[in-house]
Amino acid sequence: MRPIINLLRSPTLIATAVMAGLVVQSALALEDTPGETSLPPLEKVPTCAMLEDYEGQVLLVDASRSFLMDTFNRAGIPCGGWISIDQGWAKIKHRSGYRTRVGAHTFVQVAREETEQFVLYRGQVLIESGDGAPEARVLTANARYRLERGRVLVVYNEQDEETQVIALTGEGKFENRFVSENSIALKPGQSSTLHQKALRVLPDTPLAVSTADLRSKLAALHVPEKEKVQILAQAKERADHGLALAQRRSPAGIVFHSKNYERHSRTPDDDALRKKFEAHAVGRGAAGAAGKDTRGPADLGGPSKGPSAELAEKARLLSELSKAREP
């Protein structure tokens, strides 16, 4: 017994025994509650998407955000997995047929078909849905976009809590995720935003998107040149169409004809005053055209003298000044 006591007095052996006890206790705990402490292996999680191509710093994370997977072309992305891009871009293909481009400074989740297929935490994604594919749904912190067929660019700014949607081709519905019964339709080349900090319940009225702003976004997503030209042409057509409609409208503050628009009911006094004013304006205009001085006493601050009186006054002042200079 004494040798054992002497051995236990050694600090190294005591530490080893404590660590062994902790390991055994942890193992027993795992055996008692395996469902609460253990995670399923990655190979048992179904794959929802595939990484087709990428460039820059692209990270693939599992649904629990506990495991970092290898990044390579044609790498599988599990359902619920996340894509994090600091610098660069990525092109992924969803198993439902959606093709998605992910831009820099983006954190997005790839989900199943039963829920929103894409959950955008920050950054920007371009989603393309072809014929035969189910409705594509993109979810942000405050908004949702439903795409039946076509292309859409969704941008979310987490600092401003603002969701911006730009319809590139096709049509879709933009809505507040908490008030889904009130949605707005976006046509190709139109853009709308939903600002949480501004306490907006409904998205803004769709407007034509700026081609310069759209061009920079497409370049960041590494969109091929041929597709970029088609998208910008549609955006320009939408902008020109909106400009043509604006030119057809009467500008603000236009003076309408008196027969079609009256601010108040006309009276005989109004007609008399109008005729008196017109006669006065015509008289002053005719006198001005003949070279006469039409300024009245109120304009000159005193009685009107006329041109001849002013010349006589100047001659008298010059005469007195010349006499004052004589010795």
pLDDT value at position 305? 52
Contact 208, 198 (CB under 8 A): no
pLDDT tens profile 182-204: 889 998 888 999 987 777 788 88
Would residue 221 count as lying in a domain? Answer: yes
- Rounded-to-integer distance, Cα 136 and Cα 133, Å: 8
Which SS3 state, helix, strand or coil, does residue 172 take?
Answer: strand
Asked if 45 and 68 touch (Cβ cutoff 8 Å), the reply is no
Average pLDDT value over all residues in the chain: 75
Pairing of strands 136-139, 118-129: parallel
Using pLDDT thresholds of 50, 70 and 90, give the confidence band for residue 266: low
CA-angle at 33, arms to 32 and 34, nearest 5° = 110
Residue 101 belongs to some domain of the structure: yes
- In the chain, the percentage of residues whose pLDDT exceeds 70 is 63
Residue 251 resides in a domain: no
pLDDT-based confidence at residue 9 (cuts at 50, 70, 90): very low
DSSP run (H or E) holding 269: helix 268-289
CA dihedral 249, 250, 253, 256 (to 10 degrees): -150
Burial degree of 320 (CB within 10 A; 0-12, 13-18, 19+): exposed
Question: pLDDT value at position 182?
Answer: 83
Domain annotation covers residue 173: yes
Per-residue pLDDT of 22-63, as tens digits, reads: 433 444 444 444 443 344 454 577 899 999 999 999 999 998
Look at residue 28 in the predicted model and tell me its pLDDT. Answer: 41
Q: Which contacts (CB < 8 Å, 24+ apart) does range 307-310 have?
A: none
pLDDT at 69 over 80: yes
pLDDT score recorded for residue 276 = 66
The pTM of the full predicted model, rounded to 2 decimals, is 0.60
Question: DSSP code of 196?
Answer: T
Please count the CA atoms within 13 angstroms of the CA of 117 that sit on its side-chain side.
26
What is the reported pLDDT for 193? 93
The answer to whether residue 103 is domain-embedded is yes
Residue 298: inside a domain, yes or no?
A: no
Domain at 109, CATH number: 2.60.120.1440
Which residues have a Cβ under 8 Å from the Cβ of 288 and sit 6 or more positions away? 294
Residues facing 276 on adjacent strands: none
Of 234, 101, 250, 97, which Cα lies nearest the Cα of 171? 234
What backbone torsions phi and psi does residue 271 show, to the nearest 5 degrees? -65, -40
Residue ranges making up the domain that contains 111 = 42-246
Q: How many domains does the chain have?
A: 1
Helices marked H in 129-210: none
325 pLDDT exceeds 90? no
10 within a domain of the structure (yes/no): no
Residue 24 in any domain: the answer is: no
